[in-house]
Amino acid sequence: MYAHGQTVIQLVEKLAPKKLAMEGDEQRIGLQVGTLQKEVRRVLVALDVLEPVVDEAIAKNVDLIIAHHAVIFRPIRHLRTDLPQGRLLDKCIKHDIAVYVAHTNLDVAAGGLNDWLAEELGLAQTEVLFPLSREKLKKIVVFIPTEHVDAVMNAMAEAGAGWIGNYSHCTFQIPGTGTFMPREGTNPFIGQQGALERVAEVRLETIVPASIQSRVIRAMLDAHPYEEVAYDVYPLEQEGAPQGLGRKGVLPEPMTLAAFARRVKERFGLSGLRFVGSAERMVHKVGIIGGDGNSFIPQAAAKGIDVLVTGDVYYHTAHEAMALGLALVDPGHHVEQVMKRRLASYLSEALAKEYPGTEVFASEICTDPFSFL
């Protein structure tokens, strides 16, 4: 059994909803080449869609590439197959390879790229470094006949309702009596047409991020035995978890900047990196922002961190960080390649049960343009 293209992408967007994309980036995410209206047997996860990556996809009979960096970054003015970009797009089309991009939406997503980077560094007590917004919350209240409470609760919890901090399945349940009279044209689960029914029911209430409200309601309706389900949705004043770019956290113990830089080098399997600041200074609180974090460096200094890990650091931004007393470690933009393995295993696991035929794997092509000597 193979997954449909849309099914695969629904799983990507469950992790990294498109609406999380940064302003200006929303035009460069999503499906960029080909179609999702097809069966998908093999999925390749890549950081960059360069020609060798497309060749790898062709050699491995891939139907869909999921990439972090856009394959079409600026609007194209021509599709010339005698030029590199046109040749690459032509290969994708000829081999029916779709290309889907999850960029800043994957960076911002809870459990997405910046969390993966923080985990690779072994940071604890991780939180968002630059909050952009907070999730809106809703309360869903549903009335369930007593013996079906657990089934409905579990379905709602599996769809993402009932999280408070690191606690899942948070609900409150009050027993009571539900009344109803089935009328003409009904097919009641309990009772008969024209007779007033009194049923032992439970009022179950739980909290849900507004972004997944419809998914939770669908799961609730599917698990509920009634033909017509009584439920209410309330907007809440309090806000959910902050969403944003970068993460901050603490190292297991303070260490020198040089030791920390070595740790970064080892954890990301690098042959070299650059750092800014005195090698002997102690660092404990660490910020990390995948890709190019230049524009965030001045604000990072105000976030109470000792060192910021980010790529593509400019000469003058490094001077700025020094003046602000913020140490920097620049492991390169390419450390974002952890997304290949992480996203591939997330998708493999999510698809395994229903669509065991669909294979998802990480690209084996290294797209780091830089070498060290």
> Which residues would be at the binding site for Zn ion (CB under 5 A)?
291, 336
* Short-list 199, 300, 197, CA closest to 246: 300
Nearest-approach distance from CB 207 to Zn ion, in angstroms:
34
Nearer to Zn ion, 336 or 359 (CB): 336
Nearest-approach distance from CB 250 to Zn ion, in angstroms:
25
Nearest-approach distance from CB 354 to Zn ion, in angstroms:
31
Please state, in angstroms and as integers, the Cα–Cα distance from residue 321 to each residue in 35, 52, 223, following that order: 45, 37, 55
Amino acid at 120: E
Nearer to Zn ion, 67 or 140 (CB): 67
Q: Return the SS3 of 299.
A: helix
Which are the contacts of 323, defined by CB distance < 8 A and separation ≥ 6? none
Opening angle at CA 161, ends 159 and 166, nearest 5: 110
* Short-list 24, 22, 63, CA closest to 43: 63
Nearer to Zn ion, 218 or 274 (CB): 274
Nearer to Zn ion, 71 or 220 (CB): 71
Nearer to Zn ion, 102 or 121 (CB): 102
Which are the contacts of 126, defined by CB distance < 8 A and separation ≥ 6? 115, 118, 119, 247, 248, 249
Nearer to Zn ion, 162 or 331 (CB): 331
DSSP state of 326: -
User: Which residue's Cβ lies closest to Zn ion?
Assistant: 291
Nearest-approach distance from CB 68 to Zn ion, in angstroms:
6
Task: Say if residues 147 and 295 touch (Cβ distance below 8 Å).
Answer: no
% helix, strand, coil for the chain, step of 5 = 35, 30, 35
Nearer to Zn ion, 112 or 162 (CB): 112
Range 301-306, long-range pairs (CB < 8 A, 24+ positions): 301/325, 301/326, 303/129, 303/130, 303/248, 304/248, 305/129, 305/248, 306/281, 306/282
Nearest-approach distance from CB 311 to Zn ion, in angstroms:
8
Amino acid at 308: L
Nearer to Zn ion, 153 or 273 (CB): 273
Nearest-approach distance from CB 291 to Zn ion, in angstroms:
3
Nearer to Zn ion, 5 or 291 (CB): 291
Given the structure tokens 């998914």, which residue do they identify? 215
Nearest-approach distance from CB 320 to Zn ion, in angstroms:
21
Nearest-approach distance from CB 104 to Zn ion, in angstroms:
9
DSSP state of 103: -
Q: Return the SS3 of 273.
A: coil
CA distance 364 to 340: 9
Nearer to Zn ion, 36 or 273 (CB): 273
Nearest-approach distance from CB 333 to Zn ion, in angstroms:
5
Polymer length in residues for the chain: 373
Nearest-approach distance from CB 106 to Zn ion, in angstroms:
10
**Cβ neighbours, 10 Å, residue 58:** 14
